Amino acid sequence: MKIKSTEIIDTFAEAFKMYGSRIIITAETKEWAMAAAQSITGFATSVIGCKCEAGIETEIPANASPDLRPGVSVLLFAMDSESLGKRLMERIGQCVMTCPSTACYNGIDQGNEITVGGQLRYFGDGFQISKKIAEKQLWRIPVMDGEFLVDDIFKTKEAVGGGNILILGKDQNTTLKAAKSAVKAMREIPNIILPFPNGVVRSGSKVGSKYKALIASTNDAYCPTLSSIVEKTEISKGINSVLEIVIDGLTLNAVEEAMYIGINASIKPGIKKISAGNYGGGLGQYQIQLHKLLERNN
């Protein structure tokens, strides 16, 4: 399959089940809400080394936020609900409660319940106060600029991680421009995040390594500098740069929509191929076929 001058490889992205949660952070100004959001999503690119994957979903205008203040929606993902609950408590406690003027609310209606505010309340050292609004319990924790308001319960749900596209271009600059276009388009899709820096990752990985202690290592089949020495390479003539975009979503449909939008946005002069990363179907529960995805949406 070709779209303009770009070949779409007949392959699939291998995605897998994760658990996801949405956090709504509000503050007196957009600046402070965003500061907390950027902090809570730090060091959260991959569960391989970070224990969770997180990113900013969208900004929320004051008239649509839980307390009528500027807000930011953040999505967090982990491999199981228990692990996600630990990350929620750690990151809300260290990155949101610490940020001036913020409050923090659960953003998912249905799912497994995780007690977060009910654990963070102990920071109040006995001065914390329980509050009920419309049958929902919150905690008011005294802090030095007033109080931190946080939901008692946050919810997690089954989600999808590891959706991805690979952009193979003639040089680094061309491939970067294409990846930026894809990221800009994909970020318009609700219910997804792109967890890597500015949405793009250059150090794509494969499962396993020659070193027994590592569970993942460089995806040598897509490394241009190794194309002449590795046994199997996906680098053909004229390709000198490969970038990957990874998508996590609260639903499979959201991940598929983001991939479709991203593929189309990344097709530019100098982009030789669009592909996807998979492990032969042995790792993830979902196989998102690129050709079927494009045919279904055209």
Alpha carbons 25 and 32: distance in angstroms, whole number = 9
- Is residue 298 over pLDDT 80? no
Tally of CA atoms within 13 A in the half-sphere of 189 that contains its CB: 25
Same-domain pairing of 153 and 35:
yes
Q: What's the CATH code of the domain at 82? A: 3.30.70.520
Average pLDDT, the chain: 96
Does residue 165 sit in the same domain as residue 288? yes
Average pLDDT of 272-296?
A: 93
Pairing of strands 6-8, 271-275: parallel
* Residues counted in the chain: 298
Specify whether 177 is located in the same domain as 152.
no
**Two tokens at 151?**
């939901």
Number of folded domains that form the chain: 2
Contacts of 51 (CB under 8 A, 6+ apart): 78, 83, 87
Q: Is the pLDDT of residue 296 over 90?
A: no
Instruction: Enumerate the β-bridge partners of residue 75.
Output: 22, 55
- Is the pLDDT reported for residue 284 higher than 80? yes
In this structure, are 6 and 31 located in the same domain? no
- Of 200, 162, 169, the C-alpha closest to 184 is 200
* Whether residues 9 and 134 fall in one domain: no
Tell me the C-alpha distance between 117 and 137, whole Å. 9
Same domain, 120 and 221: no
Do 34 and 149 share a domain, yes or no?
A: yes
- Domain span holding position 247: 2-15+159-296
Least Cα distance to 149 among 21, 28, 58, 56 occurs for 28
Mean pLDDT across 278-295: 91
Q: Are residues 74 and 131 in the same domain?
A: yes
Q: What are phi and psi of 123, to 5 degrees?
A: -60, -25
Q: What's this model's pTM, rounded to 2 decimal places?
A: 0.95
Same domain, 49 and 179: no
Instruction: Give the pLDDT score at 167.
Output: 98
Range with the poorest average pLDDT among 15-19, 62-66, 227-231, 293-297: 293-297
The reported pLDDT for the residue numbered 187 is: 97
